Amino acid sequence: MGAAIALGGGIMIDTSRMNRIERVSREDMMFCAESGVVLEDAFLTLNREQLFFAHDPWTRPIATIGGALSTNSLGYLGAKYGSFGTQLLGLEAILPNGELLRTRPAQFASTGFDLRRLFIGTEGLFGIVTSAVMRAFPKPETLKLVSYEFRSFEHAHRALIKMRLNGALPSMIDYGEEPSSNEDSQLNLAFDGLEEEVLIQAGRAEQVITDCGGRKLDDAEAREFWEHRHDIAIMFSRGVSEPVHEEETDTKYDYVHISLPASKILGFRESLLRIARDGGAKVLEVGLWQGPELLSLVLSAHAGKPKITTRRLWRTSDRIIREAQDLGGTMEFCHGVGMKLAHLMKREHGVGLEIMRQLKHVVDPLNILNPGKQSVS
């Protein structure tokens, strides 16, 4: 998204050596970690204390506490545990004038403006987070993984809506399909918690899914998805990239994440397929992430010349995002805005963007922190 690029030159601040987990409290069900702590280390530390760190994005082996907070990251278990920002209890941050801000790690509070929100999903515009107090959860007694296939996107979407209405609430919802081939559609679900609870939830979900035309796949399919969910991040951590075939070197890819009311998703899917076709781009995958209202999209384009390809792809993505905004949706739900989507912030927030700018000016009058990002500074 370009959030960590110095547009006009400047000082880049690296917090990777601020990697201490300062304390873990089983009684309070919380832990305090510096912003450079890698999510995998937080997970393993809490696991040794018989607690559960419930934020599990595909980047868990390489992403940090500060990074997840600054983009309000959403992980594989978001259907049950929410985004990273919902798990934040308190934080410590250095303000642009050098003062240290500490918020109290309260579960609930009604004592004025929630200053934590200045640092959730705002990509370091208001301060440099140095440590965070996060929720810890009971270690799940059991984990059940299941996978299903569907005849169409519509059948899968209807199943997710009916699951929610019937109280079947998985910890993970991950559906993906290749529009050109319905045979490759797959819904992956995870249920965790008390054994009795998991059995009831999974049973209720299977009943709903079967009624909506879903067919259960072999349990090995579900296990394979779960066991390999972090593979790309592990390759990055080892300095290994995926092999690129010679004929693919001029192909460009883009990823779009849209949040819309569930009732508008099916119509929007038809619109995005039309927009992509008209724009000369190919839709490689359409997915539903943690609910029937969060849609993810993988696009590609190949025009022979890299600049033409990039322009064609971004123009198509832009049209798709604008279509979602016109339907009342929001243009991103897990990766932040950065440079890539900054030009659409006015369209997204209206007068709210000017309020954000005024807040930024009050906290950072010299516009020191991450200038030019999100069109806020």
Rounded to two decimals, what is the model's pTM? 0.92
Say yes or no: 128 and 171 in one domain.
no
Indicate whether 350 belongs to any domain: no
Instruction: Determine the Cα–Cα distance for residues 198 and 140; give it in Å rounded to an integer.
Output: 10
SS3 category, 166: coil
Residues 6+ apart with CB under 8 A from 276: 282, 283, 299, 316, 320
Indicate whether 9 belongs to any domain: no
CATH code assigned at 303: 3.30.1360.20
Instruction: Determine the Cα–Cα distance for residues 7 and 357; give it in Å rounded to an integer.
Output: 18
- Please give the helix or strand (H or E) that residue 359 lies within, else none: helix 351-363
Q: What share of residues in the chain are helix, strand, coil (percent, to 5)?
A: 35, 25, 40
- Number of neighbours of residue 28 by Cβ within 10 angstroms: 14
Half-sphere exposure of 34 (CA within 13 A, CB side): 11
pLDDT above 60: residue 247:
no
List Cβ<8 Å contacts ≥24 apart for 12-21.
13/128, 15/64, 15/66, 15/128, 15/130, 16/64, 18/130, 18/131, 21/45
Say yes or no: 133 and 27 in one domain.
yes
* C-alpha dihedral sign at 38, 41, 47, 49: negative
Q: E-assigned strands of the chain?
A: 21-25, 30-34, 51-52, 88-94, 100-102, 128-135, 137-138, 142-149, 172-178, 181-193, 215-216, 252-259, 282-289, 294-301
Give me the pLDDT at residue 182, please. Answer: 59
Give me the pLDDT at residue 88, please. Answer: 98
Record the tokens describing residue 93, joined without a space: 């941050």
- Please give the helix or strand (H or E) that residue 269 lies within, else none: helix 265-279
- 148 within 8 A of 214, measured Cβ to Cβ: yes
Say yes or no: 70 and 177 in one domain.
no
Q: Which of 108, 138, 168 is the last residue of a domain?
A: 138
CATH code assigned at 111: 3.30.465.10
pLDDT digit string, tens, across residues 12-41: 899 999 999 999 999 999 999 999 999 999
Domains contained in the chain, number: 3
CATH code assigned at 185: 3.30.70.3450
Quote the DSSP letter at residue 291: S
Give me the pLDDT at residue 181, please. Answer: 73
Say yes or no: 132 and 160 in one domain.
no
Indicate whether 292 belongs to any domain: yes
Say yes or no: 95 and 64 in one domain.
yes
The whole-number average pLDDT for the span 199-209 is 97
Say yes or no: 45 and 101 in one domain.
yes
Indicate whether 36 belongs to any domain: yes
Q: Which of 212, 237, 262 is the last residue of a domain?
A: 237
Give me the pLDDT at residue 121, please. Answer: 95
Q: Which of 138, 167, 198 is the last residue of a domain?
A: 138
Say yes or no: 98 and 52 in one domain.
yes
Instruction: Determine the Cα–Cα distance for residues 213 and 20; give it in Å rounded to an integer.
Output: 49
Give me the pLDDT at residue 242, please. Answer: 57
Indicate whether 372 belongs to any domain: no
Record the tokens describing residue 107, joined without a space: 């579960």
Model confidence band, residue 374 (pLDDT cutoffs 50, 70, 90)? confident
Greatest alpha-carbon pair distance for the chain in Å reads: 60
pLDDT digit string, tens, across residues 88-147: 999 999 999 999 999 999 888 888 999 999 999 999 999 999 999 999 999 999 999 999
Give me the pLDDT at residue 4, please. Answer: 85
Indicate whether 348 belongs to any domain: no
Give me the pLDDT at residue 248, please. Answer: 53
Say yes or no: 165 and 212 in one domain.
yes
Model confidence band, residue 51 (pLDDT cutoffs 50, 70, 90)? very high
Instruction: Determine the Cα–Cα distance for residues 198 and 45; give it in Å rounded to an integer.
Output: 25
pLDDT digit string, tens, across residues 248-307: 567 889 999 999 999 999 999 999 999 999 999 999 999 999 999 999 999 999 877 888
Token pair 């018989």: residue: 50
Indicate whether 361 belongs to any domain: no
Give me the pLDDT at residue 6, please. Answer: 86
Domain holding 195, by residue range, is: 142-237
Record the tokens describing residue 279, joined without a space: 């724009």
Say yes or no: 36 and 119 in one domain.
yes
Give me the pLDDT at residue 241, please. Answer: 59
Model confidence band, residue 244 (pLDDT cutoffs 50, 70, 90)? very low
- 147 within 8 A of 189, measured Cβ to Cβ: yes
Tally of residues, the chain: 377
Say yes or no: 157 and 131 in one domain.
no
Indicate whether 343 belongs to any domain: no
Say yes or no: 286 and 217 in one domain.
no
Say yes or no: 224 and 258 in one domain.
no
Record the tokens describing residue 32, joined without a space: 């305090």
The whole-number average pLDDT for the span 330-347 is 93
Give me the pLDDT at residue 197, please. Answer: 96
